[in-house]
Structure 1
Amino acid sequence: MRTPLSWLAGRYSLGARSVRLAALGSVVASIAIIVTGGIVRVTGSGLGCTDWPMCTGETLAPTAEMGVHGAIEFGNRLLTGALCAVVGWVIITARLQERPMPAVLRGGWAQFWIVVLNAVVGGVTVWMRLSPYIVAAHFLAATLLLTAAVYTWHAAYADAAGGRAEGTAGDAGGAYEGTRQDAGGVRPAARIRSLSAALVAVTALLVVVGTLATGSGPHAGDSSDVARMPFDWTAVTVVHGVLAAVVLALTGALLSALPREGFGAARRKAVVFLAVLVGQGAVGLVQSLTALPSLIVMLHLLGAALVWTGVLQVHLTVNRGSAGDRVPPGGAPLPRARGAATHA
């Protein structure tokens, strides 16, 4: 059975650059939806629309009497439509490639269904009158969308290089895993992969604990009396800070473990991630010491999205690499694959 996409693919084709730009657009849109959700929270507009999917029991859009809070919440809802359009363009551009891009297609469809999931969770959030646990789930669903978007962005470059991109820990490991071991008997490539996996896991825990700190803090998402999580905000914040320090240490350890030859892209991304992490830590410290002002809270939320994007980029590059990075230990760089490109 022919689908509209297969019909289009039989008549038109697009260059690899189009799918890369579309995938990047989905990353930007995913970060934007996290930030606008934060704007809803810090402005107390979470119940600006009192129902879902309608704004009120009778109207789809907010009325003039609902004021700025209704406009902010409704504007955030409208962004879901824009996000669907961006994700749809990712799927279309991937389907219209002369060389199949199965990973990008999978990533695009995953994003679509996560957008649907997050819209439903957003509706439940309103129905539950901003339960802090549902609000946290709403944020984590948005983070899951960002995860799929970053994976798709990375896959757009890997697929353009003809499947598995060069410069991976596996590639380097294949060149020297059987011949080089450290004093403890751990092969370098295995250590790199283990550090990368640990870095992602602890960063994920850092994000989750951050939602607990937010759920226990003053920004409930509405100006009315909204229940908060029954945790001690100071204690949760201390745990959050300790986890941030662990992430910082793991990043330094990964940078030290990455060989200079064969992992240039991974090292560059790890350095950028380290800089973002330090900046995010500084914003978080200022936030804690200044009674959580709304603007600083927004910057910290943006930083959280950038930190998660950065750690995923590091992990994907270490494990899949970017084209043109592969260098055998002690040897010259291997030929670059046709059509390959390295992305920042």
Structure 2
Amino acid sequence: MTTPFAWLAQRIRLERRSLKAASLSAMIAAILIIVGGGVVRVTGSGLGCPDWPTCTGGSIAPTAEMGIHATIEFVNRLLTFVLCAAVGWVIIAARLQREPVPGITRWAWFQFWLVVLNAVIGGITVWVKLNPYVVAAHFLAATLLLTAAAATWDEVQNLGNASEAASNDSLKSLGTWLVAISALLVIIGTGVTGSGPHAGDSAEVPRMGFDWLQITIVHAAAAVGALVVALVLWHQARQQQVPVVAHKAKLFIWVLAGQGLIGVVQAVTSLPELLVVAHLVGSALVWIGAVRVGLASHATARGIQPQNS
């Protein structure tokens, strides 16, 4: 039995540039999902639509009487459709390539199922009235989606590049440590947010039971740890003449430094809303950087030299 994709593949073939554009759009959409959630949180619009999947009662969209918070929450929900369109584009573009790319196709479908997971957790978040632990799980699910989107985009950039035999176990180990510490940084960050003042709604929303100052210090320590590992990785990659890893590690260092600066400023200025959103953008960029460095270091260890991009 011929599947719809197989039927299309017999009639339509797409170039690499379509796949590059699709994978980039999906990664940008994944970032927008994270930022949109941050805007909902800092504006106190988390329960602007008090139900899910409808906004209220039998209405999908908010009514005029529900006010600006309902509109903000509803627009955030609409971003899911933008994300679905972007991920669908990646799936189609990967399946219709002139030269098969089964690895990219698997990453694209992985993104699709993560979109479903993220939507379900988002609905549960509304049902449990913004329980901070479920909100944290919602953010981590969005970050997992961003992981898949970043990995897909990075792998697409490397398609067709020449291999260079090189074994760098030390770079592989450091790349693994960088991803692990960066993941820990993201997880601890949900505790900082869950203990802070931005509960996501003007109603009484429970907070995590951490001391905000203490967990913020732990978060900062994890950031310093990631920075140290990145510096060592960058230095070793330069010494071992692996320019792609060195280049991506350097980009990660600069992004992490900028993110750290935003974090310090927002902490000492009582977490202004605009800086909180900027910090969320920074967290997405830091995580993308960590994923790309991890992939590059492991690709080098396997003897595959990625493109310098």
| TM-score, normalised via structure 1 length | 0.87
| Counterpart mapping for 1:121-140 below 5 A | 121-140=121-140
Deviation by residue 1:80-101 (Cα, 9 ceiling, x = unmatched): 0110010000000011111110
The answer on 1:99 being equivalent to 2:99 is yes
Whether the 8 Å CA contact 2:235–2:246 is kept in 1: the answer is: no
Question: What is aligned with 1:195?
Answer: 174
Whether the 8 Å CA contact 2:26–2:149 is kept in 1: the answer is: yes
Question: What is aligned with 1:342?
Answer: 307
1:296 to 256, 260, 275: 275
Q: Which has the higher helix share?
A: 2
Deviation by residue 1:15-44 (Cα, 9 ceiling, x = unmatched): 111101111111111011100110000000
The residue type equivalent to 1:236 in the other structure is I
For residues 43 and 4 of structure 1, the distance between their equivalents in structure 2, rounded to whole angstroms, comes to: 43
Question: What is aligned with 1:4?
Answer: 4
For residues 211 and 271 of structure 1, the distance between their equivalents in structure 2, rounded to whole angstroms, comes to: 26
| Counterpart mapping for 1:230-245 below 5 A | 230-245=209-224
Alpha-carbon offset, residue 256 of structure 1: 1.2
Question: What is aligned with 1:161?
Answer: 160
Deviation by residue 1:52-72 (Cα, 9 ceiling, x = unmatched): 000002211000011110001
Deviation by residue 1:134-172 (Cα, 9 ceiling, x = unmatched): 0000000000000000111122133x317xx635xxx31
Whether the 8 Å CA contact 2:50–2:56 is kept in 1: the answer is: yes
For residues 308 and 12 of structure 2, the distance between their equivalents in structure 1, rounded to whole angstroms, comes to: 26
Alpha-carbon offset, residue 191 of structure 1: 1.2
Alpha-carbon offset, residue 342 of structure 1: 2.8
Question: What is aligned with 1:313?
Answer: 292
* Residue 148 to residue 325, structure 1, CA distance change in 2 (3 Å): closer
* Residue 14 to residue 262, structure 1, CA distance change in 2 (3 Å): farther
Question: What is aligned with 1:281?
Answer: 260
For residues 82 and 296 of structure 1, the distance between their equivalents in structure 2, rounded to whole angstroms, comes to: 25
For residues 307 and 22 of structure 2, the distance between their equivalents in structure 1, rounded to whole angstroms, comes to: 16
Question: What is aligned with 1:215?
Answer: 194
For residues 191 and 96 of structure 1, the distance between their equivalents in structure 2, rounded to whole angstroms, comes to: 38
Question: What is aligned with 1:108?
Answer: 108
The answer on 1:251 being equivalent to 2:230 is yes
For residues 245 and 38 of structure 1, the distance between their equivalents in structure 2, rounded to whole angstroms, comes to: 24
Identity of aligned residues (%): 53
Deviation by residue 1:169-216 (Cα, 9 ceiling, x = unmatched): xx311xxxxxxxxxxxxxxx1111111100100110000000000000
SS at 1:130's partner residue? Answer: coil
User: Whose Rg is larger?
Assistant: 1
Question: What is aligned with 1:21?
Answer: 21
Aligned length: 308
The residue type equivalent to 2:15 in the other structure is G
For residues 163 and 206 of structure 2, the distance between their equivalents in structure 1, rounded to whole angstroms, comes to: 50
For residues 249 and 48 of structure 2, the distance between their equivalents in structure 1, rounded to whole angstroms, comes to: 40
Alpha-carbon offset, residue 314 of structure 1: 0.9
RMSD: 1.7
Question: What is aligned with 1:179?
Answer: none
For residues 304 and 245 of structure 2, the distance between their equivalents in structure 1, rounded to whole angstroms, comes to: 9
Question: What is aligned with 1:79?
Answer: 79
> Which runs of 5 or more residues in structure 1 are unaligned?
174-188, 327-340
Whether the 8 Å CA contact 1:49–1:55 is kept in 2: the answer is: yes
SS at 2:289's partner residue? Answer: helix
- Where do 4+ consecutive residues of structure 1 move more than 2 Å? 259-262
Deviation by residue 1:266-285 (Cα, 9 ceiling, x = unmatched): 11111111000000000000
Alpha-carbon offset, residue 262 of structure 1: 5.0
Alpha-carbon offset, residue 259 of structure 1: 4.0
The answer on 1:227 being equivalent to 2:192 is no
> Which runs of 5 or more residues in structure 2 are unaligned?
none
Alpha-carbon offset, residue 308 of structure 1: 0.1
